[in-house]
Amino acid sequence: MKKLFLSTGLIIRPDKKFLLVKRSANDTFLPGFWELPGGKVEKKETSEEGLLRELLEECGMDVEIVQVSHKKSFARHEKGIEFIETFYLCRINHAGNVTLSDEHSEFEWINFDNLYKYTDGISEYMRSAILEFRKHLKTTTS
């Protein structure tokens, strides 16, 4: 099975809200679903370099990677690909606006307590990744 590496960031503001982006309705994978921004790591990039590039391309965000939070993997058997995704906690470097690429149609800054509002529009995989961030943040800030 072919392996594809992804980097995804939870961009958190000082008010503890984080960025969710909505996949374009014409996307071939999970159209219209909410997710954390990120994407494929190119062959000559580190996971961190790929994340910084993707966040700039997808949402115009200049961020600082604070730390690795966790890793997850999933397979798309119909495509014969195993995706290995690294999740990073990030903070905004400047007070810039979100500027979405064509890959996403909307964005929202939410707090963890409002994640339940996205029950029908977020995959269980992404929900569990976000909740893993919450658990990790609680243990590092206590």
CATH code, domain with 130: 3.90.79.10
Classify residue 94 by its DSSP letter: S
pLDDT at 142: 46
Rounded-to-10 torsion of CA 9, 10, 12, 17: 150
pTM (predicted TM-score)? 0.89
Classify residue 117 by its DSSP letter: G
Q: Residue 51: pLDDT band by 50, 70, 90 thresholds?
A: very high
pLDDT, greater one: 75 or 51: 51
Task: Please give the angle made by the CA atoms of 16, 21 and 47, to the nearest 5 degrees.
Answer: 80
Structural domain range at position 52:
2-141
Q: How many domains, in total, are found in the chain? A: 1
Contact 10, 63 (CB under 8 A): no
* Tokens at 11, concatenated: 């961009």
Tens-digit pLDDT profile for residues 82-136: 989 999 999 987 766 899 999 999 999 999 999 988 878 999 989 999 999 888 7
Contact 11, 54 (CB under 8 A): no
